[in-house]
Structure 1
Amino acid sequence: MGARNGHQHVVIIGAGPAGLTAAYELMKHDVPTTVIEKDATYVGGLARTVEHKGYRFDIGGHRFFSKNQEVEDLWTEILGPEMLTRDRLSRIYYRGRYFAYPLKAANALLNLGPLETVRCMASYAKARLTPVKDPRSFEDWTRNQFGFRLYNIFFKTYTEKVWGISTKELSADWAAQRIKSLDMWLVLKSALLPRRKPANRGDLVTTLIDSFRYPRLGPGQMWERVAEMRRARGEPVLMGRSVERIKHDHGRVTSVVTKTTSGAVEEHKGSDFVSS
């Protein structure tokens, strides 16, 4: 941080998870902050929960799980008993049947049938023997990890429905991030062998977890709570402010100029600035 002489003030652009987490940590160290949010109603950004006719809807992230215990502890610190733990119940619907996910051997075999199971295993063996060299697309990467047949049955249709574009257009790097640490061998081990909790939390495969945490009123409750804490300290999140200009002086940011929904122009000066 810039100032260290008692005149430190941090201006944070965005009241999503990143912006409000930064504000929360600075608040714990008694560093004054100003948080600016474009949305006039909701904090939380892509992790907000919106309300419509008494019902709450999650816009983005809907499961809380981290390999980092420090992050898990932060969530508990903010929400306490309002942060619930729930068993995961996920199903893949394919050809009129529901497949348990993470996969379970008996369920998968019963639904696919012995012939299709053998085809999938043969396809996987072929992919391991003759992988796509230098995979560039989601299709290339997933075929290498699971074989073409399983890719075509599960990953292709699901991914294209969710993201609305061909798996040939999604990058291999994006696939590796979304299906991180998962391949056919891990799926088979998970389906056939008794599950053991890894000694190191970092070794958990996110895609295969069978429980997760969830705020009682939805993900947005986390960020609404941080906003409430700020309000109680006399530092409410400034809602409905769109950034118009960022002022500089000799290579350093000096202030952020915003406009309210009513058209009023405001200038927010600080010693340090965070853009989330």
Structure 2
Amino acid sequence: MSVHSETKAVSVPQLAQARAEGRKLVMLTCYDASFARVIDAAGIDLILIGDSLGMVVQGHDSTLPVQVEDVVYHTAAVARGARRALKIADFPFGSDPAPAQAHAAAVRFIQAGAAMVKLEGAGHKLETIRYLVEREIPVCAHLGLTPQSVLRMGGFKVQGREQSAAEQLRASALAVAEAGASLLVLEGVPAALASAITAASPIPTIGIGAGPGCDGQVLVLHDLLGIDTGHRKPKFVKDFLAEGGSIAGAIHAYAAAVRAGTFPGPEHAYS
């Protein structure tokens, strides 16, 4: 393989290609250039500049205080460090209430170096997904445990355990794909339901606390490294630094485990 092909940036069409070929997609969150370089060197496919930065970088109790300016700043930093991985910028709380406002924020994310934007939910967000995609901005949807809904949900709780809720999640997954989303994150969903959604979905799924049946996995970088952020660690988290021996080793170990199908294991999944 040539040096050029090894360093060529991951593109949106390659996500569907990976799914078609049965290759697991590997995603990590990242918020700065130095970690982005390490992640890129490990061959991670996708970097999420997540609103999780509010909790693990800024020290808040939730993601709600994060601002558009924060995501723009961190996206630009990550883009300076990572050349290969496809970078996804997260819409912070309240920044995508209607298509026009979402588009204004998305343009800033793309100009900062993102190749895709992520938004939580379906419902009225379907119109926003269509609006963005029609204007050449790729979209990653996010369903299940959506952290920006923490106040309504009364905490970070597994979603889709009741039949009606499971049926709604299935319908929403198909709806975001129909609206034009290219990727779907499923968070805090029973493993069997996530597998069923993945099987029915026309777009790749990325799981976090959704069992091994998704087309790929994502973790928050700080959780993968076992860093104490002052928040309770959910059961789907694994400290890869303990077995990797170094930061680079931990990220390599995570990528290898996802691609081999050994992570997440049964102990990381919800029923």
User: TM-score, normalised to structure 2's length?
Assistant: 0.21
Structure possessing the higher relative contact order (Cα contacts under 8 Å, 6 or more residues apart): 1
More helix by proportion, 1 or 2?
Answer: 2
The structure with the largest alpha-carbon Rg is 1
User: TM-score, normalised to structure 1's length?
Assistant: 0.20
More strand by proportion, 1 or 2?
Answer: 1
